[in-house]
Amino acid sequence: MARYRAAVIGCGGRSHAHIRASQALEDVEVVACCAPTPTRRDKVAAQYGLRAYADPAEMLQAEKPDLVHIVTWPDTRVELMSLVSDFGVPACTVEKPIAVGVRDWRLLVGLEAVTKTKFAVSHQCRWQPNLAKCREAIQSGEIGAVRFVDCSAGMTISGQGTHILNYAMSLNGDSPVAQVLGTACGFSNEDPGHPGPDTTVGYLLFENGVRGLWQTGYTSPRCGDPSIFWQHVRVGAYADRGRVEWQEFGRWEIVRPAGEERGDFGGMETWAENNALAQAAFHRAVLNWLEDDAKVPGTGLKQSLHEWKVVLALYASALWRTPVDVADFGPPENLFEDLLRALQR
């Protein structure tokens, strides 16, 4: 008999990965799904043998799940996370990004301070096997102390920016970002679900003294299929005696004093297998946290809110043309809108 009951809010494409990953865990039973569109929810329910609901509150009341996956557009985060918290759901995963602008971020900071629900954001590639190898090489100490991290993505800062920031932070012991010097260009709004500048560049200073370069959008390095803009996801770390680099759709390598180790992403079939493993490992990490308060995953809500604050700090730096200290930064309510107006001039 399953120990945990899981349910999904949102029945779009990403819902399948969450359902399959939960079903791959022997102590989890996925029992229900929810979406306002009958064709979407009924199709997903039939495919996986779930009960279908139109209203998330009705589903939470009837099913009383231990774990909820929120797989909806970013502008629904506050409402749905607050609902999950109000129903006392023990754990909840949320798709990225955690917010859209300042208002959502502030409301979620307030929620994080009072909620008993353990929220974690789905930066699932943090658990991808090849990225884990790179992180383990750093943690072993064999390549020395990290001095610089470098991360980039083909999508916008709202689409993939927090993904790569989280992965880069994982290579740097999850040291918080202390300062951001950033710039941004263009706003074509080609992805209305993830609004943000077309391209951004941020120079980062972490609290542990490590420096970093953070790039998103069409000016980023190319490392996947040139015709597929979302495939250009990469992170690297440069240390005293070596370096690591991981590309989600390209190569990975570890350079040590004793020798080098490298490989590639293995093609789309292997990528899909690794992504499924990563998604399941992320869900397992959330359940481990549910069982032990000390086992906070590296994508917990507190850290994810810090990452979005770094996004807002980059917006402010681009608009104000000055470095921004993250700890003391209080983003003004209309920061995002002011930046977009400046970019559209």
First to last CA, the chain: 60
pLDDT in tens, 269-306: 999 999 999 999 999 999 999 999 999 999 999 999 99
Domains and CATH numbers, the chain: 4-124+278-299 (3.40.50.720), 125-271 (3.30.360.10)
Kindly report whether the peptide bond that precedes residue 97 is cis, defined as omega within 30 degrees of 0.
yes
pLDDT in tens, 17-43: 999 999 999 999 999 999 999 999 999
**Taking 80 as the threshold, does the pLDDT of residue 189 lie above it?**
no
The confidence score (pLDDT) of residue 227 equals 87
- In degrees and rounded to multiples of 5, residue 338 shows phi and psi of -65, -40
pLDDT in tens, 39-61: 999 999 999 999 999 999 999 99
- Rounded to 5°, the CA angle 3-8-9 comes to 145
- Rounded to 5°, the CA angle 86-91-95 comes to 95
**Taking 60 as the threshold, does the pLDDT of residue 323 lie above it?**
yes
CA 171 to chain centre: 15
Q: Is the pTM of this model over 0.85?
A: yes
Residue 128 neighbours by CB under 8 Å, 6+ apart: 246, 248, 274, 275, 277, 278
Report CA Rg, the chain. 20
Residue 183 neighbours by CB under 8 Å, 6+ apart: 200, 201, 202, 317, 318
